[in-house]
Amino acid sequence: MTERIGIYPGTFDPITLGHADIIRRGSKLVDRLIIGVTTNPSKDPMFSTEERFDMVEREIAAMGLGNVEVVGFNALLVKFAQKMGASVLIRGLRAVADFEYEYQMAGMNQQIDDDIETVFLMADVSLQPIASRLVKEIALLGGDITPFVSQDVCEDVIARVQEMGQLGDY
């Protein structure tokens, strides 16, 4: 029997409790889950690729998931999946807007390689509103991000905000 390998790709800038929920649940669906930390040309990351990679590795270690590993990549997702021997792409969904984008991406990926399936996991209801973009915005404006990220990630984000300078006048 062949090992079922899944990929959960993302920028993870920063990794949130929503990401952790998808990782935890996704790890149960495959024999081996690869968290693919990537760059996204349309996003302006707060953390470097190396910092995000280390952050994700630290969070995975804290979860104690033995079948999960972190790999950095900067390539077409399907090509990365092929290189890693993956047959499943795991994508998290929060809302209808996510679905529209992810549905289109799944269709394009299927056109490239129809042997790789996309599996959508709905985020836990309590975690659905969490988005890395909003976590960064809240932190930059001096808000409390502890409900959205682990304590370690919160400290990383706060330290970065202190380096960058907080926005707003309150």
Catalytic residues, by residue number, are 19, 43, 94, 132
Our measurement of the distance from residue 63's CA atom to the centroid of its chain's CA atoms, rounded to an integer in Å, reads 15
H-run or E-run covering 81: helix 77-84
Other beta carbons within 10 Å of 63: 13
b/e code 111-133 from CB counts within 10 Å (16+ = b):
eeeeebebeebbbeeebbebebe
H-run or E-run covering 10: strand 5-10
